[in-house]
Structure 1
């Protein structure tokens, strides 16, 4: 079955373009469109898509607030959200990830990267534009930019530290398995353990913790 996507962008030509690109990708179907965050949240709650693709700057409720409403810490059954924007600003990326986004792309990403981000988010992984990953997450690891990182409820094992480093570099589960010569199920088990020890809800929060604690 195709992955079902809701697209939200206040510019009709951009919204139509994103929809056309996604509908042309095998295994992806756009099931709803919205011109603002309020409508996007309503659509997403009604349609329960596999992935939401939200612009940041929208009238009324913006993409970050819409993301928080659907995927934030207080949401019991969060949806997968990928944020896409024209603006390469540190604050936007950090706010989007903290709001619960599973991906962050610039609008010049291209069809392949857009498709990868949708599939990654639907699979519980995360894709952040390569051009912004290290710089933007690293910027928020500096002292004074956020509250102190949480302490693990239990010390990380050496293998978990290895897994943490590969996740922070943006590797997928399959890539980690190949790089460390372990099975895919073992990778998933270690990532689940990392999430439990760090109190992380998803891979993005693992990546943020890695940067905040200077693991990368």
Structure 2
């Protein structure tokens, strides 16, 4: 469900391409948003000393700098961050989400997707664009499964069946705490953001 379009918010744009900044600024201002812009991390910090945004839209490649470095400081200030980037790989998406980004949109997608992402985030919903989501789902089939031990593979299979932590523990005659420890190690080995993603990986693995 697409939220009702939001108007009159304060949006700050960070991108090292002036032409992209100009285009985005024009589009957002047509939607009655107040817009601020910057082309680097330093200029962003300077501008945000006086501009208090409701949302920051960040590119990841900023003339040798990484927009990822902006996410955590902004999240600490309760400012949601939307990544708008050419990077669509699952690893970069995970890093952005782990840092606290509220959304991620590929620059290869129509402008309507970016506007939809903004509306979702203003409605307090996380948004991952279709192209990025597709790459994330595909990555579940290419993770290094050989890194898992035989016991971890057993737990993964039970997780795919929808069994709870308690049911897995009972099936394998181990404690629930041990099951949770296995989950933590598996998430790390497979480079996944969290438990929800491990469950999705388990289901995808069971179907392959």
Name the TM-score, length of structure 2 as normaliser: 0.62
Alpha-carbon distance in structure 1 between the residues aligned to 2:140 and 2:30: 36
Structure 2 residue 83 is matched with structure 1 residue 86: no
Alpha-carbon distance in structure 1 between the residues aligned to 2:82 and 2:65: 16
SS class of match (2:115): helix
Alpha-carbon distance in structure 1 between the residues aligned to 2:92 and 2:60: 8
Aligned equivalent of 2:166: none
| 1:119-165 CA distance string (max 9 Å, x none) | 211221111111221431663695689xx9xxxxxxxxx9xxxxxxx
Structure 2 residue runs of 5 or longer lacking an equivalent are: 1-6, 153-161, 163-192
Q: How much has 1:117 moved relative to structure 2? A: 1.1
Alpha-carbon distance in structure 1 between the residues aligned to 2:198 and 2:45: 31
**Whose radius of gyration is greater, 1 or 2?**
2
2:89–2:132 CA contact under 8 A, matched in 1: no
Alpha-carbon distance in structure 1 between the residues aligned to 2:68 and 2:128: 16
Aligned equivalent of 1:118: 118
Structure 2 residue 59 is matched with structure 1 residue 55: yes
Q: How much has 1:89 moved relative to structure 2? A: 2.2
Structure 2 residue 30 is matched with structure 1 residue 24: yes
Alpha-carbon distance in structure 2 between the residues aligned to 1:105 and 1:208: 21
1:55–1:84 CA contact under 8 A, matched in 2: yes
Name the TM-score, length of structure 1 as normaliser: 0.60
Alpha-carbon distance in structure 1 between the residues aligned to 2:46 and 2:123: 23
Equivalent pairs, count: 151
2:83–2:101 CA contact under 8 A, matched in 1: yes
Equivalent in 11, 22, 41 of residue 37 of structure 1: 41
Aligned equivalent of 1:187: none
Structure 2 residue 12 is matched with structure 1 residue 9: no
Change (3 A) 1:140 1:209: farther
2:58–2:84 CA contact under 8 A, matched in 1: yes
Alpha-carbon distance in structure 2 between the residues aligned to 1:45 and 1:118: 23
SS class of match (2:97): helix
Aligned equivalent of 2:107: 107
1:37–1:59 CA contact under 8 A, matched in 2: no
